[in-house]
Structure 1
Amino acid sequence: MRLIKKHIHKALTCSIAIVWVANGLFCKVLGLVPRHRQIVSAILGPTYASPFTLLIGFLEIGMAIWIVSGYRSRLNALTQMLVIATMNTLEFTLVPHLLLWGRWNAFFAFLFIIMIYLNEFCIKPGTPKHT
């Protein structure tokens, strides 16, 4: 059973990191999904859209590197959950019309947060069992 948990944890960790790389590199840094820049522009203004979209993209790539490094993984998981909740609350409130699934994005973000939580605090080998 421990071996299965280890493989599931590793697969989920890689999947989570891929989400951060895809959003950071492809959507923001390379600009393959213009909607991301439009969201930043609508929230911060057109003057800041390009530099902040790039900055956010590089930070998301950095998050992926942090995830796969395994360094302080609990702090990393908590940081991811906070960042996702904050970004999606802002977008839900300020620019729902620019989101891929509109306000439903918040639901998918919530599922992603749950996946991160379960992966780090329940599935990860060595996680203490609650009695």
Structure 2
Amino acid sequence: MLNVAIALPPLIVMRGAVAAVWLYEGLWCKVFGRAPHEAQVVANVPRFGPRFGQSFLKALGVVEVVLAGWVISGIYPGACAIVEVALLVVLNVNGLLWSRDIIPDPAGMIVKNIAFLVLAWACGAIPGR
């Protein structure tokens, strides 16, 4: 068997993949409201969700769209990766804490988000625009 490594994809492709996820999650799912399941998850947060859940979700969607732009811009990629990791960890922990019973596959969510964050971290570790 050959021990052959392949080259990384171009940095813009890696950043584009990460940005596309943030754009989809932010704009499509939250701002446009195409993922009602996410609203149910946020609504389960005590003293916050029932009153401010929809507003929070829309604002979070805007933040995610801005994050997509930051990722694709390549400006301060390390700081961007740290913000991505922090945001997704906070969202996942709160989702599991308050809404684990309505998340269809909590373990799958964690595994997929770890894989996504590894790619986001790689984008943050590679300098350049």
TM range (shorter): 0.7 to 0.9
Distance 1:76 1:22 in 2: 18
| 8 Å Cα contact 1:92-1:106 kept in structure 2 | no
Residue 31 of structure 1 aligns to a residue whose secondary structure is: coil
Measured on the aligned residues, the alpha-carbon RMSD in Å equals 1.8
Is the CA contact (8 Å cut-off) linking 1:5 and 1:125 kept in structure 2?
no
1:53 equivalent in structure 2: 57
Which one has a larger percent helix, Structure 1 or Structure 2? 1
Q: Which runs of 4+ in 1 moved over 6 A?
A: none
C-alpha separation in 1, matches of 2:39 and 2:14: 28
Looking at structure 2, the residues matched to 47 and 116 of structure 1 have their Cα atoms a distance apart, in angstroms, of: 33
More moved, 37-46 vs 13-22: 37-46
Aligned length: 120
- Partners of 1:12 and 1:90 lie apart in 2 by 28
Instruction: Indicate if the aligned counterparts of 1:27 and 1:33 stay in contact, CA closer than 8 A.
Output: yes
Q: TM-score, normalised by structure 1?
A: 0.82
Once the two structures are superposed, the pairs formed by residues 15-94 of structure 1 within 5 Å of their partners are: 15-43=17-45, 44-94=48-98
Rounded to whole Å, the distance in 2 between the matches of 1:55 and 1:112 is 22
Q: Within 5 A, what are the aligned runs for 1:94-113?
A: 94-113=98-117
TM-fit CA distance, 1:104? 2.5
TM-score, structure 2 as length reference:
0.83
Which 5+ residue runs of structure 2 have no aligned equivalent?
Answer: 1-6
Unaligned runs of 5+ in 1: 127-131
